[in-house]
Amino acid sequence: MEFERYITQAATQSSIATERVRQLSRVEARNRPASANTVAVLQKLATGNLQNAGELLSGASSALSVASDTIPKVGAVVRSFNAVQSSVGSVLKLADASSHPLIKSAADTVTRALGDVRTKFNALAGIKETPSPGAAATSTGAGSLFSGLLDGASTATPHLMTLTSDAGDTFHFNLSTAAFDRLRRTTRYKVASQERLNRQEALQAVSQGGETIALSGVVFAASGPGAKQLDALRTIGDKMVPVQLTTGYGEVLGRWYLQGIDEEQEALMSDGAPRKQTFSLEFGRYGEDYKNV
């Protein structure tokens, strides 16, 4: 559906903006004259992402017209709303308004556009936001059929993690698809050593060495959508493009490359089909300033 595609892409653009503003903050913290050009580029890129998000939300508001098309995906839409809100909140926290007025203005535009489309969607789906901060949305009327999807939508969600791409590909890690029971996140820092005569070697920090996320879990082919879940992940990985990772509790982890999928099939049936698939995935951090090498 066009409306959901707009919302998903808005969440992705907001996430990219968050990554770029985070990188901008790191560069500014170094306080080097040579970094001024990098700051300007990152500010321009982040502003562009936020403007794109605002335009996508405005497009979603215009596309929002047929209730029967939107109600079955209430949970996914609410999670995208929350992802946009979380990203804009991070941007406003990281970017000083006096130093980066363009980013602040673009973020405010996204906030207004989000409020408009969310109000229209809530009215259409029969969702009534609770007045208490952080409380989960509850639904009435037609939307009450999907109250189970909305429980905790403002904080935790039924998904362990959500993977999305700029093209609109989405994969939800949960018990009915591919549930992972272990997540390992590794952050590396490059430190060089220099041997010195008759004394200890000298160490110097050279660069940030990057990050990896490894997930491991099990798919039981007889339950839920079946054994095609890992194939769906391979299809996304085959496109060789960065993907956004967002945790079920709302933290935007940023953009990553899916670098590897390992699968082990067990409990085979007579025709060779697996009853159980043990898998592991590896993601590598995508550097938003990769052109500035």
Specify if 161 maps to a domain: no
Q: Among 27-36, 157-166, 227-236, which stretch is predicted with the lowest mean pLDDT?
A: 27-36
Element housing 19 (H / E)? helix 2-30
Out of 104, 122, 156, a domain closes at 156
CATH number at 231 reads 2.40.30.200
Helix (H, G, I), strand (E, B) or coil at 139: strand
Task: Say whether both 139 and 230 belong to one domain.
Answer: no
Q: How far apart are CA 164 and CA 170, in angstroms?
A: 4
Q: Which residues of 89-122 are buried (b: 16+ CB within 10 A; e: fewer)?
A: bbbbebbeeeebeebbebbebbbebbeebbeebb
CB 53 within 8 A of CB 17: yes
Task: Say whether both 204 and 120 belong to one domain.
Answer: no
pLDDT tens digits for range 233-264:
999 999 998 898 888 777 778 889 999 999 99
* Torsion sign over Cα 219, 261, 23, 289: negative
As given in the structure block, the two tokens for residue 137 are 């949305």
Task: Say whether both 213 and 136 belong to one domain.
Answer: no
Query: At 280, which amino acid appears?
Result: S
Specify if 264 maps to a domain: yes
Instruction: Compute the average pLDDT of residues 188-212.
Output: 89
Query: Over 90: is that where the pLDDT of 284 sits?
Result: yes
CB count within 10 Å of CB 242 equals 22
Query: Over 80: is that where the pLDDT of 292 sits?
Result: no
Looking at residue 280, what is its pLDDT? 93
Task: Say whether both 201 and 79 belong to one domain.
Answer: no
Helix (H, G, I), strand (E, B) or coil at 258: strand
Specify if 260 maps to a domain: yes
Looking at residue 260, what is its pLDDT? 94
Looking at residue 282, what is its pLDDT? 95
- Mean pLDDT of all residues in the chain? 77
Query: Over 80: is that where the pLDDT of 175 sits?
Result: no
Out of 88, 123, 156, a domain closes at 156
Looking at residue 136, what is its pLDDT? 36
Q: How far apart are CA 79 and CA 84, in angstroms?
A: 9
Q: Among 27-36, 128-137, 278-287, which stretch is predicted with the lowest mean pLDDT?
A: 128-137
Specify if 173 maps to a domain: no
Task: Say whether both 208 and 152 belong to one domain.
Answer: no
Instruction: Compute the average pLDDT of residues 190-213.
Output: 89
Please report which confidence band the pLDDT of residue 224 belongs to, taking 50, 70 and 90 as the band edges: low
Q: Among 119-133, 174-188, 222-236, 255-269, which stretch is predicted with the lowest mean pLDDT?
A: 119-133
User: What Cα–Cα distance (Å) separates residue 98 from each residue in 31, 84, 104, 146, 246?
Assistant: 17, 23, 9, 43, 29
**What does the longest C-alpha to C-alpha distance in the chain come to?**
80
Specify if 256 maps to a domain: yes
Question: What torsion do the CA atoms of 279, 159, 181, 11 make, to the nearest 10 degrees?
Answer: 70
pLDDT tens digits for range 39-84:
888 888 889 989 988 998 888 888 776 544 545 467 667 777 888 8
Specify if 92 maps to a domain: yes
User: What Cα–Cα distance (Å) separates residue 248 from each residue in 33, 228, 251, 274, 292?
Assistant: 40, 22, 7, 28, 32
Q: How far apart are CA 284 and CA 159, in angstroms?
A: 21
Looking at residue 259, what is its pLDDT? 94
Looking at residue 145, what is its pLDDT? 32
Task: Say whether both 113 and 200 belong to one domain.
Answer: no
Please report which confidence band the pLDDT of residue 185 belongs to, taking 50, 70 and 90 as the band edges: very high
Looking at residue 158, what is its pLDDT? 65
Backbone angles phi, psi at 228, to 5 degrees: -85, 0
Task: Say whether both 136 and 206 belong to one domain.
Answer: no
Looking at residue 249, what is its pLDDT? 74
Specify if 293 maps to a domain: no
Q: Which domain holds residue 43?
A: 2-156
Please report which confidence band the pLDDT of residue 12 belongs to, taking 50, 70 and 90 as the band edges: confident
Task: Say whether both 46 and 142 belong to one domain.
Answer: yes
Task: Say whether both 186 and 44 belong to one domain.
Answer: no
Task: Say whether both 144 and 220 belong to one domain.
Answer: no
Task: Say whether both 149 and 184 belong to one domain.
Answer: no
9 class by beta-carbon count within 10 Å (0-12 exposed, 13-18 middle, 19+ buried): buried
The structural domain count of the chain equals 2
CB count within 10 Å of CB 5 equals 16
Task: Say whether both 36 and 129 belong to one domain.
Answer: yes
Residue 35 per-residue DSSP state: G
Looking at residue 120, what is its pLDDT? 83
Q: How far apart are CA 82 and CA 88, in angstroms?
A: 10
Instruction: Compute the average pLDDT of residues 259-288.
Output: 86
Residue 288 per-residue DSSP state: T
CB 233 within 8 A of CB 243: no
Out of 105, 123, 156, a domain closes at 156
Q: Among 46-50, 84-88, 139-143, which stretch is predicted with the lowest mean pLDDT?
A: 139-143
Specify if 276 maps to a domain: yes
Instruction: Compute the average pLDDT of residues 283-290.
Output: 76
